[in-house]
C-alpha cells in the first residue's frame, strides 16, 4: 500500500497533527484502513472530518467519510455550489479570527506597565487557541487552494501570494509564541509591538484573500478567467 501525509485537527486542542497513513486509491477517493489500535487521527476525524492530505508534495483539502473498516477521504472539488460554500466558510473563519485578535488586543490595552508577567500568561492563553486555530485555517486553505486554482486558473498569481503569506504568518506566529514561552520577560511595549506586527500582517492577509477569492468563488467576478 502507498502512504500519504494527513493533517487533522487535534480533537482537544485544535492543534494540527500530521500522520502518515496507508491508502488505496479508488476512483477519486483515498481509502484508509481503520487503525488496529486506537489512533489519535481517527479520533480527530470523529470530531472534525476535515483533513488536509498531501500527495506527491501537493496539499489537498479532503473530507473524511467513515465506512465499514476505514475512512474514505474525498478531495475537495470546486463547483459553483461548493465555491459559494467555501466563500461563506472563509468569511466565518476570518470573523472568528478577527474576534480573537480583538480580544487579545483588548487584553493588551487593559494592562498597565509593570504587569508584564500577567500579560505574558494571558497572551499565551490566547495564543493556544488563536495560534492553533490560525495554523489549521491556513493548512486547510493551502489544501483548498489546489482545488480553487484548478477551477479558477486566473487566480494563480493571487494564490501564490497568499501561500507565501501563510508561510510568513506562520513564522511570525512561531516567533511570537517563542517570545511568550521564553524565560526572559519582555516589557509590555515590546510585546505590544510584536503583537501589532503580527496582527497588521494578518489583517492585510485576510483583506487581500477576501478581495481576490470571494468574487470568483461566488461566481460574480471576472477573475476566474485566465
- Pair 115, 123: CB distance under 8 Å: no
Q: Which is nearer to Fe ion, 40 or 93 (CB)?
A: 93
Please report the DSSP string for 196-224 in residue order: HHHHHHHHHHHHHHHHHHHHHHHT-SSTT
Smallest distance from the beta carbon of 131 to Fe ion, in angstroms? 14
Q: Which is nearer to Fe ion, 44 or 141 (CB)?
A: 141
Cell of residue 168, nine digits:
510568513
- Out of 52, 141, 145, 147, the only residue in the binding site for Fe ion (CB under 5 A) is 141
Please report the DSSP string for 147-178 in residue order: HHHHH-GGGHHHHHHHHHHHHHHHHHHHHHHH
Smallest distance from the beta carbon of 212 to Fe ion, in angstroms? 11
Q: Which is nearer to Fe ion, 163 or 192 (CB)?
A: 163
Interface with Fe ion includes 142 (CB under 5 A)?
Answer: no
- Pair 93, 137: CB distance under 8 Å: yes
Cell of residue 219, nine digits:
461566481
Binding-residue total with Fe ion (CB under 5 A): 2
**Measured distance CA(217)–CA(77) in Å, rounded:** 12
Partners of 7 in beta bridges: 18, 52
Q: Which is nearer to Fe ion, 122 or 210 (CB)?
A: 210
Query: Near Fe ion by CB under 5 A, which window of 12-20, 137-145, 188-196, 215-223?
Result: 137-145
Taking residues 182 to 221 in sequence order and writing x for each that binds Fe ion by CB under 5 A, - otherwise, the string is ---------------------------x------------
Write the CB contacts of 130 (distance below 8 Å, at least 6 apart in sequence). 97, 100, 101, 104
Subset of 52-111 contacting Fe ion (CB under 5 A): none
Smallest distance from the beta carbon of 38 to Fe ion, in angstroms? 33
Q: Which is nearer to Fe ion, 44 or 209 (CB)?
A: 209
Query: Near Fe ion by CB under 5 A, which window of 29-37, 44-52, 136-144, 189-197?
Result: 136-144
Smallest distance from the beta carbon of 90 to Fe ion, in angstroms? 6
Which residue matches cell numbers 510584536? 194
Smallest distance from the beta carbon of 64 to Fe ion, in angstroms? 21
**Measured distance CA(184)–CA(169) in Å, rounded:** 23
CA-closest candidate to residue 3, choices 30, 31, 22: 22
- The residue number with the shortest CB distance to Fe ion is 141
Contacts to Fe ion by CB under 5 A: 141, 209
Amino acid at each position: 500500500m502507498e502512504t500519504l501525509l494527513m493533517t487533522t485537527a487535534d480533537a482537544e486542542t485544535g492543534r494540527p497533527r500530521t500522520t502518515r497513513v496507508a491508502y488505496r486509491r479508488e476512483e477519486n477517493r483515498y481509502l484508509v484502513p481503520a487503525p488496529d489500535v486506537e489512533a489519535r487521527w481517527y479520533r480527530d476525524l470523529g470530531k472534525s472530518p476535515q483533513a488536509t492530505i498531501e500527495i506527491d508534495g501537493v496539499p489537498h483539502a479532503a473530507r473524511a467519510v467513515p465506512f465499514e473498516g476505514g475512512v474514505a477521504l474525498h478531495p475537495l472539488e470546486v463547483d459553483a455550489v461548493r465555491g459559494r460554500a467555501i466563500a461563506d466558510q472563509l468569511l466565518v473563519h476570518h470573523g472568528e479570527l478577527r474576534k480573537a485578535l480583538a480580544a487579545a488586543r483588548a487584553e493588551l490595552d487593559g494592562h498597565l506597565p509593570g504587569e508584564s508577567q500577567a500579560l505574558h500568561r494571558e497572551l499565551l492563553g490566547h495564543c493556544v487557541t488563536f495560534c492553533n486555530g490560525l495554523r489549521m485555517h491556513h493548512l486547510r486553505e493551502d489544501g483548498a487552494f489546489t482545488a480553487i486554482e484548478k477551477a479558477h486558473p486566473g487566480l494563480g498569481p493571487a494564490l501564490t501570494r497568499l501561500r507565501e503569506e501563510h508561510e510568513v504568518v506562520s513564522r511570525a506566529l512561531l516567533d511570537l509564541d517563542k517570545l511568550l514561552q521564553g524565560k526572559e520577560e519582555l516589557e509590555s511595549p515590546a510585546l505590544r509591538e510584536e503583537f501589532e506586527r503580527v496582527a497588521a500582517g494578518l489583517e492585510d492577509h485576510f483583506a487581500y484573500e477576501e478581495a481576490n477569492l470571494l468574487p470568483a468563488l461566488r461566481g460574480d467576478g471576472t477573475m476566474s478567467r485566465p
